[in-house]
Structure 1
Amino acid sequence: MTESHTCDASYIHVEVVFAQPDTIWRKTLQVPMGTTARQALDQSGFDQAFPNGVRQVGAMGVYGQRCRDDYILADGDRLELYRPLQFDPKESRRRRAMHKQRVKNGSSSV
């Protein structure tokens, strides 16, 4: 008989998710209670799926709430891996405002 942890209360189920513009990578894990976000990421196989993943992950979160590496996961948590921002939000707002002002003034030059 093989050992199974499916009903063992000392284990929890978590999902690790990484969204790219064209695809979503997800891995469901069964980990011991007390597992941190970083430990789950390390166990997920993300590094093998994305060899340059260290540069791709900007932060982590659980259900849209940013968390630290040492966050203790709970049963059913979805650990989300966030990509770094491509543009500075302040700079993007400034550029949109400048563009809007040019359009309003009738200037079409960029």
Structure 2
Amino acid sequence: MDEMLQAQLQAQLQVYVCYATARDEFLRPMKVAPGTTIGQAIEMSGVLEAYPDINLATQPVGIYAKKKTLDTVLRERDRIEIYRPLIADPKESRRKRAAKKADGAPSSGGARPPAA
């Protein structure tokens, strides 16, 4: 193998592009050149062709659950994530669970173990 080509391959970064729907997931390991941005890696990965409903103008992206911009330069072993809009508000979901738990809790006159 040509030494220059081998040096270029070694200089490339290993990154991953992932996206998940309710039914399936996309996870693509990739080798990219140093200086590649999140936006460039997403375009090269093929995820936009596989999931045409992805809109990078409105959907946030990140690396390991930390939101980033599309022009963020990648580092070795970064996992690029494309986030979907939330179906339910997490705060409202917690309130509903707490209310449901409170409705099912025994009354204060019920049999409770004595405090230690």
| Alignment TM class, shorter chain as reference | 0.7 to 0.9
Partner-residue secondary structure (3-state), 2:91: helix
- Residue by residue over 1:61-81, the C-alpha shift from the partner in whole angstroms, topping out at 9 and shown as x without a partner, is 222322222211012211122
TM-score (norm 2): 0.70
Corresponding residue number in structure 2 for 1:84: 85
Please give the alpha-carbon distance, in whole angstroms, between the structure 1 residues aligned to 2:21 and 2:6: 30
Q: What is the identity, as a one-letter code, of the residue corresponding to 2:90?
A: P
TM-score (norm 1): 0.74
Please give the alpha-carbon distance, in whole angstroms, between the structure 2 residues aligned to 1:59 and 1:78: 14
Q: What is the identity, as a one-letter code, of the residue corresponding to 1:80?
A: E
How many residue pairs get matched?
A: 104
Corresponding residue number in structure 2 for 1:46: 47
Please give the alpha-carbon distance, in whole angstroms, between the structure 2 residues aligned to 1:75 and 1:58: 24
More strand by share: 1
Gap regions ≥5 residues in structure 1: none
**Superposition RMSD on alpha carbons, in Å?**
2.9
- CA gap 1:103/1:45 in 2 versus in 1, 3 angstroms: same
Q: What is the identity, as a one-letter code, of the residue corresponding to 2:28?
A: K
Gap regions ≥5 residues in structure 2: 108-116
Percent sequence identity over aligned pairs: 34
Query: Do 1:5 and 1:11's aligned partners in 2 also have CA atoms closer than 8 Å?
Result: no
- CA gap 1:96/1:22 in 2 versus in 1, 3 angstroms: same
- Rg comparison, structure with higher value: 2
Corresponding residue number in structure 2 for 1:75: 76
How far residue 25 of structure 1 moved from its aligned partner, in angstroms, is 0.9
Please give the alpha-carbon distance, in whole angstroms, between the structure 2 residues aligned to 1:94 and 1:5: 58
